[in-house]
C-alpha cells in the first residue's frame, strides 16, 4: 500500500518533474564544455579505449592467431572452436567482474574501482604477450591463456559501468545520453586502435608474425595503461556517489548489499535491459569475430580484413555519438528501436556478403552491420541501462545487465555460429534465424522499458527515503 501511494505521488507530481530535475542534477549548467566535465569525459573515453584495446585485441588474435599458436595440435576447425572458447571465457567472466566491481563501486567509490580495473587489465594483457606457446610448454600454455583471459574479463566487467556512470552522473540532465556515449565509444575506438596496431605489426613482421610478431601489440599495452592511470587519477569522484555517501553517514545507515537489492527489487529492469542490450553485442559477435574467420576462410586477405574492421570502428564511433545525441531529443527507446529493426533487416544480406569471398563484400557487410547499425545501438545503450536503476545500486545493476549481455551476445555467438554451421552442413540459414530472433527480442524488451530521458538523476536517493521510493516507483 505504501508502494502504491508512492507511485501515485510520483504520477501526480510528474508535471513538476522537469522543474525539479534541473535542481537535482549534479551539474547545474547545461554545457558539457566545463573544465571538470572535459576531464571526466576524457577520462571515461581514454580509459575505455585502453581497456577495450586490450580486450578486443584478444578477440582479433583469437580469430586469426591463437588457433595456430596455442592449439596447433588440433584439426583446424576444432582449433578455431577452441580459440573462440578462450575468447568466450573472458566474456563469461565479465558479469562476475560487473558484480564485484559494482558492489564496491556502489559502496566504496566509483573512481577507485576504475583505477583497479585498469591495473588488472594491464597486467593480464602484457602477460599474454610474454606467454610461451603450446609447442614450448605444452598444455600449460592454453591453461595460462585462459587464466589471463579471465582476469581480462573481470577487469572489463568493472570498467564499463564505472566509466559510463562517471560520465552520466557528472553530466547535465538533458545531455546524459551524449555524455554516456563517451564511455561507450571506447569500445569501437579501442577496437580501432587494436586493429590498426595488429595490421601494422602484421605488415612489418610478415611471416614472423605468427612466430613472435603477434606479441608486440600485447606488450605495447603497458605504455597505454600508464597514460590511462595518470588521466584517471586526476578525475573527481562522481557527485552522485558523493551525495549518497554523505547521506549514508548523516543517517548512520548501513547500505544493503547492492546485488541482493537488484535481484530482489529491480529484477524487471535487469532482465529487460539485458535482453535489450543483446542486439548490440550480437552484431559484434557475428560480424567482427565469427565473420572475420568466415571471410578469411573464403580467401579475403588478413590485412584487408583488419583494415575493414578499423574503418567500421570509425563508422561505429560516428553513429554512436549521433545516435546518443538523438536519444537526448527523441528518447532512448525510439533510437534503440530504429537500430534493432534495421539490424533484423540486414541479417541475411550481411551473411550473403560474408560468403562471397571478396574484400568488398566483407567491407559492406561489416561497415553497415558493425559500423552503422551497431553504432546506432551503442549510442544510447549506456544511458538507457543506467537510467533504469536508482543511484545507490546503479553500478551493480547496470554492470550486471550489460556484462551478462556481452557474455551471451558477443562471447558465445562466435561459438554458436560455428556450431550452427557445423550441424547444418555448412549452411548459414540457422545463423541468420538466431541473429534475427535475438535482435527482435531486444526491440521488444526496449519497448517494455521505461523511458530514461524522463527520469531524474536521483542524486540523493537512499533506501528508505521518500525520494528513493519515488525513484523505485518509476
383-422: pLDDT as tens digits: 999 999 998 899 999 999 999 998 888 778 888 898 899 8
Domain with residue 194: its CATH number is 1.20.1250.20
Is 30 part of any domain?
A: no
Higher pLDDT, 16 or 327: 327
Is 27 part of any domain?
A: no
Give me the domain span that covers residue 444: 36-243+261-473
What pLDDT score does 293 carry?
A: 84
- What number is the average pLDDT over the span 117-137? 91
Asked whether the predicted pLDDT for residue 474 surpasses 50, the reply is no
Is 339 part of any domain?
A: yes
Query: What residue has cell string 536517493?
Result: 461
Which range among 105-109, 202-206, 338-342, 458-462 has the greatest average pLDDT?
338-342
Is 8 part of any domain?
A: no
Is 130 part of any domain?
A: yes
Asked whether the predicted pLDDT for residue 14 surpasses 70, the reply is no
- What number is the average pLDDT over the span 190-219? 88
The backbone region for 256, taken as left when phi is positive above 0, alpha when psi lies in -120 to 50, beta otherwise, is beta
Q: What's the number of domains the chain is made of? A: 1
Nearest-angstrom CA–CA distance, 102 and 158 = 7
Q: Could you tell me which residues come within 8 angstroms of residue 404 by beta carbon, excluding any fewer than 6 positions away?
A: 94, 95, 98, 274
Q: Could you tell me which residues come within 8 angstroms of residue 250 by beta carbon, excluding any fewer than 6 positions away?
A: none
Per-residue burial over 136-175, b if 16 or more Cβ lie within 10 Å, else e, is eeeeebbebbeebbbbbbbbbbbbbbbbbbbbbbbbbbeb
Higher pLDDT, 55 or 17: 55
- What number is the average pLDDT over the span 331-353? 96
Is 67 part of any domain?
A: yes
- What number is the average pLDDT over the span 242-249? 75
Is 250 part of any domain?
A: no
- What number is the average pLDDT over the span 428-447? 95
What are the residue ranges of helices labelled H in 65-185? 66-69, 76-107, 110-129, 134-137, 140-170, 176-184
Is 16 part of any domain?
A: no
Which range among 16-20, 24-28, 166-170, 235-239 has the greatest average pLDDT?
166-170
Amino acid at each position: 500500500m505504501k508502494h502504491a501511494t508512492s507511485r501515485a505521488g510520483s504520477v501526480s507530481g510528474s508535471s513538476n518533474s522537469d522543474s525539479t530535475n534541473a535542481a537535482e542534477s549534479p551539474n547545474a549548467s547545461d554545457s558539457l564544455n566545463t573544465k571538470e566535465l572535459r576531464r571526466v569525459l576524457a577520462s571515461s573515453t581514454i580509459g575505455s579505449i585502453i581497456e577495450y584495446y586490450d580486450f578486443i585485441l584478444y578477440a582479433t588474435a583469437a580469430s586469426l592467431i591463437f588457433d595456430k599458436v596455442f592449439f596447433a595440435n588440433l584439426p583446424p576447425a576444432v582449433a578455431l572452436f577452441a580459440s573462440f572458447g578462450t575468447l568466450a571465457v573472458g566474456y563469461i567472466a565479465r558479469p562476475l567482474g560487473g558484480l564485484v566491481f559494482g558492489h564496491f563501486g556502489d559502496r566504496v567509490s566509483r573512481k577507485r574501482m576504475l583505477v583497479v580495473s585498469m591495473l588488472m587489465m594491464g597486467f593480464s594483457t602484457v602477460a599474454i604477450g610474454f606467454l610461451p606457446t603450446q609447442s614450448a610448454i605444452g598444455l600449460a600454455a592454453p591453461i595460462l591463456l585462459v587464466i589471463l583471459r579471465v582476469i581480462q574479463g573481470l577487469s572489463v566487467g568493472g570498467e564499463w559501468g564505472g566509466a559510463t556512470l562517471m560520465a552520466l552522473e557528472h553530466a547535465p540532465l538533458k545531455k546524459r545520453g551524449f555524455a554516456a556515449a563517451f564511455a561507450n565509444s571506447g569500445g569501437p575506438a579501442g577496437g580501432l586502435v587494436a586493429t590498426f596496431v595488429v595490421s601494422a605489426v602484421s605488415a612489418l613482421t610478415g611471416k614472423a608474425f605468427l612466430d613472435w610478431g603477434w606479441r608486440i601489440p600485447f606488450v605495447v599495452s603497458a605504455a597505454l595503461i600508464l597514460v590511462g592511470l595518470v588521466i584517471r587519477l586526476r578525475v573527481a569522484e562522481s557527485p552522485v556517489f558523493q551525495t549518497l555517501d554523505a547521506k549514508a553517514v548523516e543517517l548512520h545507515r548501513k547500505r544493503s548489499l547492492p546485488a541482493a537489492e537488484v535481484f530482489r527489487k529491480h529484477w524487471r529492469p535487469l532482465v529487460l535491459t539485458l535482453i535489450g542490450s543483446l542486439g548490440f553485442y550480437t552484431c559484434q559477435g557475428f560480424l567482427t569475430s565469427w565473420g572475420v574467420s568466415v571471410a578469411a576462410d573464403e580467401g579475403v586477405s588478413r590485412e584487408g580484413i583488419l583494415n575493414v574492421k578499423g574503418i567500421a570502428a570509425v563508422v561505429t564511433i560516428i553513429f554512436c555519438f549521433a545516435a546518443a545525441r538523438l536519444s537526448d531529443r527523441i528518447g532512448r527507446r525510439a533510437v534503440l528501436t530504429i537500430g534493432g529493426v534495421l539490424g533484423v533487416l540486414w541479417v541475411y544480406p550481411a551473411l550473403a556478403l560474408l560468403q562471397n569471398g571478396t574484400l568488398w563484400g566483407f567491407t559492406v557487410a561489416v561497415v553497415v552491420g558493425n559500423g552503422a547499425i551497431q553504432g546506432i545501438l551503442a549510442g544510447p545503450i549506456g544511458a538507457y541501462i543506467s537510467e533504469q536503476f536508482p543511484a545507490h545500486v546503479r553500478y551493480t545493476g547496470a554492470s550486471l545487465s550489460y556484462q551478462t549481455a556481452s557474455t551471451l551476445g558477443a562471447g558465445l555467438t562466435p561459438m554458436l555460429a560455428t556450431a550452427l554451421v557445423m550441424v547444418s552442413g555448412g549452411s548459414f540459414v540457422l545463423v541468420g534465424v538466431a541473429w534475427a530472433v535475438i535482435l527482435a527480442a531486444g526491440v521488444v524488451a526496449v519497448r517494455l522499458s521505461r523511458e530514461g530521458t524522463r527520469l531524474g538523476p536521483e542524486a540523493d536517493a537512499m533506501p528508505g527515503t521518500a525520494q528513493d521510493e519515488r525513484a523505485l516507483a518509476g
